[in-house]
Structure 1
Amino acid sequence: MSKSKLLFHLSDLHFGLEDNEALDWVSREIAERTPDAVAITGDLTMRARHHEFAAAEKWIHSLPVPVTVEPGNHDLPNYYLPSRYLNPLGRFEAFREVVERRIELPGLALVPLNSNVPAQPRLNWSKGWISTSALAECLMQLDALPDGMRALVTVHHPLRETGTRGTALTHNGTKALRELARRNVLGVLSGHVHDPFDIMEDVGNGSVRMIGAGTLSQRIRSTPPSFNELRWDGKQLDVRVRTLGDVATSDMMIDDVPEDAMPPREPGEPVAPVNKVPRTDPPKH
């Protein structure tokens, strides 16, 4: 029997507004624990600036383990539309080899799914959109895996389409989940909402486990900076939320994908009150 696999799932680093204490801690954890792979599910930068990507590239290339990165909505340039339309991932060039990288480990694969498009027929372009081509590419990679190999799909936006009215809604999310439910998928790793979660999503023809990571930036929503530690023993996938504070996983995880996934934009800026998802237990202090 092969040994269990240890994976670190990070998200929403937001270089430009990163939490350096949290990032230094995660770097030490990766160096000391040497996970089999690290999955980063999007929003490496705050505003897709060149210096933010340079900082992200330096940090990612310092990690001594295999890494796969999904682009997030913050990683597509908003202020220069020709770049957004013609080369939306152009600023990943310095570490393009890890972007949407499929990682195959003994018995387990990490398979990418891009949830970003350059433009959408709705005002809020921060929302997820699973294009026909992105879904086809993901399914092709899943179908090409060896018999018996399980998979974790990596994507930035949670694949929740119904039951939300705000920025968590992902166009074609239900369609994607129904296709994933037909395949040997252990779960879907995502970010975007800045709080961790672990939810079984029923999509009619089956269910899919959706696992969200928190943020490693200053843009916190209702939980402190964190990452997910995943362990797969060949039969069971365990998820533990890691944070610098002494907070239990059950107190870190929100109970559902929030309707409004927007955290405060900048420290000190006035923002609208955050609609927190109800929790079954109060957080520990």
Structure 2
Amino acid sequence: MEPASRTLAHLSDIHFGKIADERVVGALVEEVNAAAVDLVVVSGDLTQRARRHEFRAARAMLDAFEPPVVVVPGNHDVRAWWHHPVDRLWRPSKRFRKYIADDTTPAFAIDGLAAFGLNSAHGWTIKGGRIRSRHVAEMEAFFAEQPPETFRVLTLHHHLLHLDALGDHDVSRNARAALDAAQRANVDLVLCGHLHRSHVQLVELPVEAGGRTGLVIASAGTATSSRGRGSNKGINFYNRVEIEGAAFTVAERQFDPASGGFEEARRTTFERSLS
């Protein structure tokens, strides 16, 4: 069966509390709602300090999107050690669950598109992230239920492997198990953030592991905050993913302060293959 054509928007590192430009949130919502997007994926760090007013602002933004939304927490969305040590250890996602989503490992499926979110932000970690084995098993089981032609998206805040192009950076604990499971599950695309730099890369995987031998990782820049890093300092990005038959394109879209809107910065197309 020919895969369905689908479009999704990938946002990350919103960081309410450190918004770069008062226009950028509205411009982002307006563009996504006008683009016939089937799903919005948010890969964490909706807030700067997990404060109530930051979560309320994030909730208002999410409610403004017309498409359905899949969102996972980032390390900035859990309570700070120095303010709430008990909550950080035992109720780290208390406010995220109250204001954003009770389910921190969300799943979504429509004809031609399936997405699963892993929670890599936990109270026992500082910023590097940790993935629970039971969530990896749930992810693999979810994708096993999908038709073979379905485009499969995995999202989490932290990274599953080191990408040399991004320099020295954190990799989530238990990432190897999650990456192996994603390969077995024939995941097409991993959406993450955390580093505040926009980067898209095809990663080659070992043949003996089974499943796909190539996996695309899209690490989003900060969509709305003033915390861009390196070559992305002072720049806001989000990704638009266009799935068409046996190919898909990741378009990195950049905010232009002069026009008050987003424009395409880079566009990379990949072929889907099970071999």
SS at match of 2:218: strand
2:4·2:112 contact (CA, 8 Å) conserved in 1?
A: no
Shift of the 89–111 alpha-carbon distance from structure 1 to 2, 3 Å rule, reads: same
Shift of the 77–97 alpha-carbon distance from structure 1 to 2, 3 Å rule, reads: closer
Shift of the 241–47 alpha-carbon distance from structure 1 to 2, 3 Å rule, reads: same
Measured against aligned partners, the alpha-carbon deviations of 1:23-53 in whole angstroms (never above 9, x if no partner) come to 1110110222231110000000001111111
SS at match of 2:67: coil
Structure 2: runs of 5 or more not aligned: 257-262, 269-275
Task: Work out which of the residue numbers 215, 235, 255 in structure 1 matches 2:246.
Answer: 235
Alignment of 1:171-210 (within 5 A): 171-204=173-206, 205=209, 206-210=213-217
Measured against aligned partners, the alpha-carbon deviations of 1:172-200 in whole angstroms (never above 9, x if no partner) come to 22232122111221111101111111112
Structure 1: runs of 5 or more not aligned: 252-285
Alignment of 1:1-285 (within 5 A): 4-19=5-20, 20-78=22-80, 79-92=83-96, 93-96=98-101, 99-120=104-125, 125-161=126-162, 166-204=168-206, 205=209, 206-215=213-222, 216-221=224-229, 222-223=231-232, 224-245=235-256, 248-249=265-266
SS at match of 1:96: coil
Q: Which amino acid aligns with 2:248?
A: L
Whole-Å Cα distance in 1 between the matches of residues 188 and 73 of structure 2?
21
Q: Which amino acid aligns with 1:130?
A: I
Shift of the 39–176 alpha-carbon distance from structure 1 to 2, 3 Å rule, reads: same
TM-score, length-normalised on structure 1?
Answer: 0.79
Q: How many residues align?
A: 247
Whole-Å Cα distance in 1 between the matches of residues 251 and 143 of structure 2?
26
Which one has a larger percent strand, Structure 1 or Structure 2?
Answer: 2
Measured against aligned partners, the alpha-carbon deviations of 1:254-277 in whole angstroms (never above 9, x if no partner) come to xxxxxxxxxxxxxxxxxxxxxxxx
1:177·1:203 contact (CA, 8 Å) conserved in 2?
A: no
SS at match of 1:181: helix
Deviation at 1:99, TM superposition (A): 4.7
Deviation at 1:102, TM superposition (A): 1.4
1:69·1:98 contact (CA, 8 Å) conserved in 2?
A: no
2:158·2:192 contact (CA, 8 Å) conserved in 1?
A: yes
Whole-Å Cα distance in 2 between the matches of residues 63 and 97 of structure 1?
19
Over the aligned positions, Cα root-mean-square deviation in angstroms equals 2.3
Whole-Å Cα distance in 2 between the matches of residues 50 and 43 of structure 1?
14
SS at match of 1:229: strand
Deviation at 1:169, TM superposition (A): 2.2
2:136·2:177 contact (CA, 8 Å) conserved in 1?
A: no
TM-score, length-normalised on structure 2?
Answer: 0.82
Shift of the 2–143 alpha-carbon distance from structure 1 to 2, 3 Å rule, reads: closer
SS at match of 1:88: coil
SS at match of 1:244: strand
1:161·1:174 contact (CA, 8 Å) conserved in 2?
A: no
Measured against aligned partners, the alpha-carbon deviations of 1:240-261 in whole angstroms (never above 9, x if no partner) come to 011123663169xxxxxxxxxx
Whole-Å Cα distance in 2 between the matches of residues 74 and 112 of structure 1?
17
Whole-Å Cα distance in 1 between the matches of residues 110 and 54 of structure 2?
31
Q: Percent identity?
A: 30
Measured against aligned partners, the alpha-carbon deviations of 1:115-161 in whole angstroms (never above 9, x if no partner) come to 122114xxxx1112222122222222222323432310011112115
